[in-house]
Structure 1
Amino acid sequence: VDCQPNECYAAASENDSTVVLYFPSSPNERTVRFQPRDVSGSRKGPDQGTAGTSWSVVWIDTDQGQSLPPQSVDGDSITAPPGLGNVTAVLSRRDQPMLPGELIQIGSRNGFLFLPEQSQRRQPQPWVMYAPTLLPNYPDEHERWMHQQLLSAGIAVAGVDVGEAYGSPECVVAMTQLYDYLTQQRGFDDRPVLLGRSRGGLWVCQWAAQHPNRVSGMAGIYPVFDLTNYPGLEPAAKAYRMTAGELSENLGIHNPIALVHKLAEAGIPVYLIHGALDQVVPLESNSVAFHKQYQVKNRGDLVQLQLIPDQGHNYWPGFFRSHGLVDFIIKHSDKVR
């Protein structure tokens, strides 16, 4: 990366899969162009470096601690959005995983697999099934610290990209294919922890309800459990290959919030973190309603709900740096500890 002195700072991961740029506040346009170099400092040829590689970028307002949603990078340069002060750009290559591991193929679908260092791996390998996997946008840079803690504890993380599936039967089939691949061909543990962020809650709750004996625990970051709240009947019906009317008539079968009693009956422990001001995924009709279903089955003690009083549905770092959530996942992923 070429920068004028004192205008920005740049750092790249060892395999060039992630680049972090810092832009100090400036009245001038802040643009950085990718100019690949080899270890000697010489410019690489057009086919040798990272110029022309497909990237996504997350802009972080360093002063306010707020982040913009992931964006695709067009061309071989990026420009800081106007109206921001000191900003950091985190770029991730679309053709490589965010953390050490592999991009995998599950049937006709793409997936990812974050792997601990070789010295940390075991047989069977503890792991987390993550949702929603929407490559290259999710998992994203906001979650890096969380996933790194799991890798450092010897726990792998994996997911399969089913698109905007919202816990549909097609989604459940793909997640089962991922499970079968990892447990039967890669020596992974047969009872992972499930982790759902936002609409990923629909994915993991649905899968857990249909495979309760294959789950050692479930965690969620402002998770959706009621598909009538998000994404709503019309978008969900498309994923379920039904009309909105058909889905409405069969919510008792297909809506994950209606299936939570199966998790409670199976004694699956759960950890949820949710903002009290969340208007995208309302707390009461999702995480609180989930907890109430456990209480009805006299299993309310199995659910830990970390309430964040002054946050909504956003990129507040505390959602992704919750020691309680990470400790819960480590405890229930790793049966050896």
Structure 2
Amino acid sequence: MVQNVVSIRRNGLNHFVFTVIAIFFLSNNDFCQAQVRIACVGNSITYGARIENREVNSYPAQLGSMLGDGYDVQNFGVSGTTLLRKGDFPYWKTDAYQKAMDFRPDWVFIKLGTNDTKPVNRVFLDEYVQDYKDLVASFKKLPSNPRVVLLLPVPVFSNDSTGITAQIVREKLLPMVREVAYDTGSEIVNLYNLLIESPELFPDKVHPSAAGATIMARRVGEVVRMKSVGPVDFSSYLPEDASTFNFYGFQGHDFTFKDHNAKIVEPKNVAVGKPWVWRSRYWGHEPQVEIALLERGFHVVYCDVFESFLNKEGLLIWDGFYQLLTKAGLSNKSVMEGMSRGGGYIYRWAAFHPGRVSAVYADAPLLDFKLYFKGSNSSFPQKWELFKKNFGFKSDEEALAFKGNPMDLTETIAKAGFPMLHVVGDADEVVPVSEHTALFEQKIKAAGGSIQVIHKPGVNHHPHSLANPQPIVDFILQATK
């Protein structure tokens, strides 16, 4: 009996000690779970040069604050450094490079190249791609097997060609970084367009301010926090002669679908829900929205139905393409994107298949094909004849009585419930806002639909989109949850 009592007391004490130890470990993340190590590699922009109190306000420091205790973010930036081995101050030869390697990071964010545009360094730019590939390889070989992310250089707002040069950044560096991302399979983040409309955030026209660093940190933080799922396997759905191509650092597939050119571009990491955006016309024109969505895990697709104006034949071809994409694993709903007369295509699709649309982004959209009959553009007469032919109209009167224009389908479109965003130039002379988006907006709202319009004062039909596509991207992310 005494032994039993002693045993019970002993067991009770052990249980108490175990409970205390468990609570201690659970309350200390350092003991129960290692921090995620993030290495920020770069030049003075990463270092935080010219930013007051850079220890707190550089982009890596702000990133660490945003991510919190579960992350160890280290700044390995060195002012003046080049990516080029033959540059005047190669990052390769710095102590910071070796320290970044010894850090055994889980993530590596590289932002190098701005100093490589100086005249003394640009003579070696032909070696930039290979040097960058070697740098990426050196990090990918680490035992920690880090995710390597290439940050496109931020814009330069100086026109001085005797030092860091804006034109070289824009025309040389951006394509080369995207080439490296494609060839090495590395992730990529477009900081360039994110800041291109914010010269006020670059006091010396080269280095971002603390506020500019905040924008950089937020975007990098989004990458770290993004949840993803496994890739979509299109291999059994593509023809044997399908080819691959580099779409701004992302892998694309180019193939023929029912005698029409089709393309699918894959993100590096697929977002939860497997969302996608469907470009209706003008593949590759002003692609900044697609690039931003690819970074965020969207697929981008295209099927060119020529000048069908999405007649019955065009609808059937798109239906088949939709079946291919969804059977492969993409979401049952897509974001429809249409520029100019591509806007007419996406709204006709949405009217016939409202349950397949999550949102619409229309850019200077043509919403009434009768424009071709009454417009003054030199190409309109030919388009009007083609429109009549594709729909089987035998006279102008018959075509003018057509009730399948998006402008005629606003009640059906509004009842579908998906949100819409239009981006228009207020000085558009090709597709006048007053005759298209303004009237369409009025009808949609009267029918209870949800539509937003971004106006670009003084802008004609071109350029489409926004240099910084963030407002469009935010709309799409919100619409697709």
Q: Which amino acid aligns with 1:96?
A: F
2:453 corresponding residue in structure 1 = 305
Contact 2:366 2:431 in 1 (8 A): yes
Q: Secondary structure at the match of 2:409?
A: helix
1:236 to 357, 371, 387: 387
The one of 250, 259, 275 aligned to 1:126: 275
Structure having the larger proportion of residues in strand: 1
Which amino acid in 1 is paired with 2:456?
Answer: I
C-alpha change, 1:176 and 1:141, in structure 2 (3 Å) is: same
Partner of 1:315: 463
* Counterpart position of 1:216: 358
2:416 aligns with 266
Amino acid at match of 2:270: R
Q: CA deviation at 1:100?
A: 1.9
C-alpha spacing 1:123/1:166, structure 2 compared with 1 (3 Å) = same
Name the structure 2 match of 1:68. none
- Change in CA separation of 1:221 and 1:123 when aligned onto 2, cut-off 3 Å: same
1:245 paired residue number? 396
Cα deviation code 1:9-43 (max 9, x no counterpart): 878899xxxxxxxxxx9xxxxxxxxxxxxxxxxxx
Deviation at 1:325, TM superposition (A): 1.3
2:256 equivalent to 1:114 = no
- Residue 140 of structure 1 aligns with an amino acid whose one-letter code is G
Q: Which has the higher contact order (CA 8 A, sep 6+)?
A: 1
Q: Would you say 1:325 and 2:476 are equivalent positions?
A: no
Q: Does 1:178 align with 2:360?
A: no
Aligned residues of 1:202 and 1:256 also touching (Cα < 8 A):
yes
1:251 aligned counterpart, secondary structure? coil
Determine if contact 2:410/2:447 at 8 Å carries over to the other structure: no
**How many residues were matched structurally?**
241
1:216 Cα offset (Å):
0.9
Report how far residue 101 of structure 1 moved: 1.8
Q: Which moved more, 1:241-250 or 1:106-115?
A: 241-250
For residues 128-161 of structure 1, give each alpha carbon's deviation from its aligned partner in whole angstroms, at most 9, with x where no partner exists.
Answer: 11111xxxxx322531x22110001101110101
Assess, with a 3 A threshold, how the Cα gap between structure 1 residues 241 and 276 changes in structure 2: closer, same or farther.
same
Q: Distance in 2 between matches of 1:129 and 1:204?
A: 9
Q: Aligned-pair distance for 1:242? A: 2.6
Distance (Å, rounded) in 1 between the aligned partners of 2:305 and 2:422: 23
What is the alpha-carbon distance in structure 1 between the residues aligned to residue 471 and residue 311 of structure 2? 30
Q: C-alpha distance in 2, partners of 1:267/1:327? A: 18
- 1:243 Cα shift? 2.8
Hey, what does 1:195 align to over in structure 2? 337
TM-superposed deviation, 1:244: 4.1
* Residues 197 and 226 (structure 1), Cα distance of their counterparts in 2 relative to 1, 3 Å cut: same
**Partners of 1:163 and 1:298 in 2: CA distance:** 33
Closer/same/farther in 2, CA of residues 241 and 272 from structure 1, 3 Å limit: same
- Unaligned runs of at least 5 residues, structure 1: 15-24, 26-93, 133-137
Could you tell me whether the CA contact under 8 Å between 2:415 and 2:448 is conserved in 1? no
Q: Which residue of 2 aligns with 1:57?
A: none
TM-score by length of 2: 0.46
Which amino acid is the alignment partner of residue 476 of structure 2? I
4+ long deviations beyond 6 Å = 9-14
What SS is found at the alignment partner of 1:234? helix
User: How far 1:326 sits from its partner (Å)?
Assistant: 1.7
Residue 248 of structure 1: SS of its match in structure 2?
helix
Aligned counterpart, 1:158: 301
For residues 297-320 of structure 1, give each alpha carbon's deviation from its aligned partner in whole angstroms, at most 9, with x where no partner exists: 133xx101001111001126x535
Whole-angstrom CA distance in 2 between matches of 1:247 and 1:330: 41
**Percent identity of equivalent pairs:** 26
1:290 corresponds, among 419, 440, 459, to 440
How far apart are 1:235 and its partner, in Å?
Answer: 3.1
